[in-house]
Amino acid sequence: MQLLSEHGMITSLMRPFFNKSEGESFSLPNAVRDGSRILCIDPGDLSEVLFYIPLIAAIRRRYPGSKIDFLLPEKHAALVVPSGLARQCILYKEKQLSPWRPSFASLLRQLGAGDYDMAVVMSFQPRPRLELAALASGASLRLGPSHENSWPAVNFEMRPPSGDDGYLGDKVAGLGSFFGFVFGELRSGWPLPMDKVRQMAQQVHFHKPNPEQLLLGVDPCLGKSGHMVAKKNLLTIVNHLVRQLQCRVIPLGHPDQMERITQFEQSLADVPHGLGRETLLEMALLVSQCDLFLAGNTDFFHLAVNLGIPTIGLFSPKDENRWVPTQRDNVKVLTIKKGAPLDFDRLMEMVQDVTKGRAKRSTPLEVSTGAEGEVTAEVEVKVEAVTKVDPRAEAEGSEITEHNHSAADKNPAKPGVDPPDHD
């Protein structure tokens, strides 16, 4: 509520500057064509940007003459610049977005001079200041999240059907028909530079020459809801997989949480060193080379899923259904609860399922982890912000609830997009 109030206040203060785009109209599917100028606005959430990329990439493929610019935080530049999508990247810092700073007005004037036809706020939640950047761009079509105060900054809103809590990663697919795309043209996955992919594949082969040996990527970072599997329990799971499979383990995740990644790595043996993990691009390239990926509800979990990597999600009950991928054979999600044993047999079955049987066991399945043969899984809970967890959080055990969403499942309700009533 406070965020929406801020949105209304900022809009009122800045309204005199934005007469250019408010009165313009657009028609679909002809709003985008070869030569169109498009502004993509990155809110700083990697998962949200990832979910919008299929639409932007489809526009680039169909209209190679389109000019696509990105307004983005510096931390994502390493991934966006080599993607081949952006003609120009305009970097911003969070403090620059304060409407009372001269730099904010300067940024809006810069965007207003871009002569854009379409602006996309790549988010599913209110982003008042970035939505105003879309309005300032002068674009007649401004796509963004639907909420009470989205108008006039957003005039083409993402409106899922009432009660729809399906995977956010599938929402943008519902936009395809509005832009004249047919089913299948919006392809999931991040457009990684193929020359860099080949180089990373060569490096991985050098460190793992045995093709029967799997590269197991593990993301120990904090999840989207501010929860995670406790370090010692994640280590128990990883060490079990190492005992049962022919694999090498490499911790991967967003460089923003490098300290957490490093701490986790110090508890592992035989981590392949020499593989660059300093930048977001290097991390993403390594994810693309994994044979199996294990993570909580993190940005890199969603990156691995959308790259088609066999993925096991270790979710908390606090992770909502909108973060659970559906209609994908390469992913299974376990919801870890307090008070019940971890079913290692089922875990191994799921690994076999997502890897299509490629994950070969190196030893028979034998588990002895306590007096009663149970492994506890703690869920660390955030205290004040998603970057903090409560070190005192304890759990007696864990229960596994399986989310098995394969192509054979009943099709969920498709996301809907309503055109605005304002134009």
From the CB of residue 66, how many other CB atoms can be counted at a distance below 10 Å? 19
User: Whose structure tokens read 């043996």?
Assistant: 269
On the 0-12 / 13-18 / 19+ scale of CB atoms within 10 A, 392 is exposed
- Which residue, 79, 82, 87, 78, is CA-closest to 59? 87
User: Whose structure tokens read 């899923």?
Assistant: 305
Return d(Cα 368, Cα 231) in angstroms, integer: 19
Return d(Cα 164, Cα 187) in angstroms, integer: 22
- Its pTM stands at 0.83
Look at residues 152, 179, 206 and tell me which one is the last residue of a structural domain.
Answer: 179
Domain-located, residue 145: yes
**Count of domains for the chain:** 2
pLDDT at position 343, please? Answer: 85
Give the β-pairing of 214-219 and 247-251.
parallel
Mean pLDDT (10-residue bins), the chain, 423 residues: 56 56 67 94 97 96 96 97 96 91 92 95 95 94 92 86 77 91 90 97 94 95 91 93 94 96 93 92 98 98 97 93 92 84 88 87 43 40 32 36 44 37 38
pLDDT at position 7, please? Answer: 60
Give the β-pairing of 67-73 and 88-92.
parallel
Return d(Cα 86, Cα 96) in angstroms, integer: 22
Domain-located, residue 77: yes
From the CB of residue 396, how many other CB atoms can be counted at a distance below 10 Å? 11
Return d(Cα 75, Cα 109) in angstroms, integer: 23
Do 148 and 210 share a structural domain?
A: no
* 358 to 94, 165, 202, 272: CA distances (angstroms): 44, 33, 21, 21
Domain-located, residue 419: no
Virtual torsion, Cα 283, 287, 288, 289, nearest 10 deg: 100
Domain-located, residue 187: no
Do 201 and 64 share a structural domain?
A: no
pLDDT at position 290, please? Answer: 97
User: Whose structure tokens read 């596994």?
Assistant: 400
Q: Which amino acid is at 7?
A: H
Concatenated DSSP letters of 203-239: HHHHH---TTSEEEEEE-S--TTS-EE-HHHHHHHHH
Domain-located, residue 150: yes
Do 290 and 174 share a structural domain?
A: no
**Chain mean position to CA 282:** 16
- Which residue, 171, 177, 176, 120, is CA-closest to 416? 171
Do 168 and 230 share a structural domain?
A: no
Do 206 and 98 share a structural domain?
A: no
- Give the H or E element holding residue 332: strand 331-338
Tokens of 178: 């509005």
- Give the H or E element holding residue 55: helix 46-62
Asked if residues 121 and 143 have their Cβ atoms less than 8 Å apart, the reply is: yes
* 54 to 51, 103, 184, 185, 359: CA distances (angstroms): 7, 32, 10, 8, 30
pLDDT at position 397, please? Answer: 36
Domain region containing 168: 2-179
Backbone angles phi, psi at 158, to 5 degrees: -80, 110
Do 386 and 346 share a structural domain?
A: yes
Residue 220's domain is classified under what CATH number? 3.40.50.2000
Domain-located, residue 189: no
pLDDT at position 367, please? Answer: 35
On the 0-12 / 13-18 / 19+ scale of CB atoms within 10 A, 114 is buried
Do 169 and 99 share a structural domain?
A: yes
